[in-house]
Amino acid sequence: MKRSLAIRSDNGPMQWIGWPAAMAAGGMLLLATPVQVFGFNLPEPILPLLLAFAWPLIRPSLVAPAALFGLGLFLDILLYQPLGLWPLCLLVPYGVVLAARPFLAGQETRVLFFWFALISALAFLLAYLIATLSSGMAPSLLALLGQFVPTVLTFPLANALIERFDDVDARFR
């Protein structure tokens, strides 16, 4: 019998980093289309924030911050923002969640939702401050809320990702 040298892992980095990053990029592209439903534009949640929250809770990785940086640059280009704004606004929450990981790992959904809302508020506050300082004018608070609220309401997607891969590797618990 011949053994295969390739090790197959159903929960490898492509499963918990690659595919979610590709889906977030596709979702951002889809939601950025100029389509109106009942006279309203589609909401534009910042989908990579879901990943910036879920990935450090799943397991520490060197690939996740690089993927967030790339998604942030894509978001900057898509939303006509200064390059570097969203990579910074995604990596800061990632670092905060990574630091709080011992406390957050294994918590119930309500606690995770509260932390996700808090982390999202931190990211949007940081983006608001940077945009204000770089342009010399304060962005619209209604536009900010128009992105913040849909982002927070997408928490079930982050929770599903966390629940799917939460107990995959006991070394990181």
- Tens digits of pLDDT across the chain (173 residues): 444 444 444 556 677 788 899 999 999 898 888 887 787 777 788 999 999 999 999 888 889 999 999 999 999 999 888 899 999 999 999 999 999 999 988 889 999 999 999 999 999 999 999 999 988 888 889 989 989 999 999 999 999 988 887 655 554 44
**Could you tell me the pTM of the whole model?**
0.85
Q: How many CB atoms lie within 10 A of CB 173?
A: 11
Q: What is the pLDDT of residue 66?
A: 94
pLDDT in the model for residue 22:
92
Backbone angles phi, psi at 69, to 5 degrees: -60, -45
> Please, what is the Cα angle at 9 between 6 and 14, to 5 degrees?
105
Give residue 11's pLDDT.
Answer: 59
Instruction: Please give the pLDDT value at position 12.
Output: 66
Report the C-alpha gap between 110 and 67 in whole angstroms. Answer: 27
Residue 172, pLDDT score: 45
- Spell out a b/e string for 33-69, using b for 16 or more CB atoms within 10 Å of the CB, else e: eeeeeeeeeeebbbbbbbbbbbbbbbbebeebbebbb
Detail the DSSP E strand segments found in the chain.
Answer: 36-37, 40-41
pLDDT at res. 8: 44
- Whether 95 and 130 have beta carbons less than 8 Å apart is answered as no
Cα dihedral value 101, 55, 111, 49, nearest 10: 120
